[in-house]
Amino acid sequence: MAKYLVTGGAGFIGSHLAKALAAAGHEVVVLDNLSTGRRANLDDATGRLELVEGSITDLDTVERCCRGVDCVFHQAALPSVPRSVADPIASDETNVGGTLRVFWGAHRQGVRRVVYAASSSVYGNTEELPKHEGMPQRPLSPYAVNKCVGEMYGAVFNNLYGLGTVGLRYFNVFGPFQDPQSQYAAVVPKFITSFLREEAPVIHGDGEQSRDFTFVANVVEANIAACGAPDAAGGRSYNIALGGRISVTDLCLKIRALVGAQVMPRYDTARAGDVKHSQADVTLAREQLGYVGTVDLDEGLRRTVEWYRARAASSGQGS
């Protein structure tokens, strides 16, 4: 049994990870300021789990939470490309300043490794597909810049300070507990909840943009694999996805069929800072981390639709 810290552990991805670690019998500390995370996301947690309400931008709080910890899973962020376009200062303060404090606090407390959430947004718009880790970073938004800087700090802390760091470049993660009500919500929960209400979901742009949508269980698997990977895996980032891609329109129609809805999506203007196509080459993660990605897109969508349908039924909404 080990002790772990999950920053942002009351959020979408972080709560899945924290609960998986706790269910395995580990001691888990969650640090979350609850700005986007929710206590309710941890209600069904098992094992030993402590929630500390605080911010990654407060170094004292970070250091206190890092005491006695073997590995930090750094999931906390101010997410969303559109949010960063609207308020780049706030994004930088959390995503860059907060990440630096997590690395520094972990180093000062003798933590062995930090596995941190990077992002596929660092690649920007490149014609080459699938995207591989050797490609140049071409960020198109402040959020993507934040993630680029986080990776550079990760490499420096690995190589200069000896803090083992592993970055995971997530590609469009979806699954239960993702908030569909946020202004910046991802498309999967928005599509599902709209179809459950027989309301037409909105697709921004022409719908031909494509993504490597990745079920959250695969991301949890990747984090745990990265924690246990050899020291040689540190100091760099790895793509975490399934290695496929689907257009947003086709994804929307898949969800429509799973829900059994009658309405069709409607189209609106494209969003600033969005990339056109995204697909991951996950070879390096498989070779260096032992990542597999066991839940495919169709199964992930089925599980996710079931979860939102049950939630809608319990609240008296939807079909």
Active site residue ranges:
143
* Cα(236)–Cα(220) distance, integer angstroms: 18
Residue pair 220/294 in contact (Cβ under 8 Å)? The answer is: no
Tokens of 137: 């970073």
Report the distance separating Cα 139 and Cα 122, nearest Å. Answer: 5
Is 101:57 a contact under the CB 8 Å cutoff? Answer: yes
- Which residues does 191 contact at the CB level (< 8 Å), separation at least 6? 201, 251, 252, 255, 256, 265
Q: What is the dihedral of CA 290, 295, 296, 300, to 10 degrees?
A: -140
| C-beta separation of 274 from 139 below 8 A | no
Query: Do residues 132 and 28 make contact, with C-beta atoms less than 8 angstroms apart?
Result: no
Structure-block tokens of residue 28: 């888990």
CA 149 to chain centre: 17
3-state secondary structure 284-306: HHHHHCCCCCCCCHHHHHHHHHH
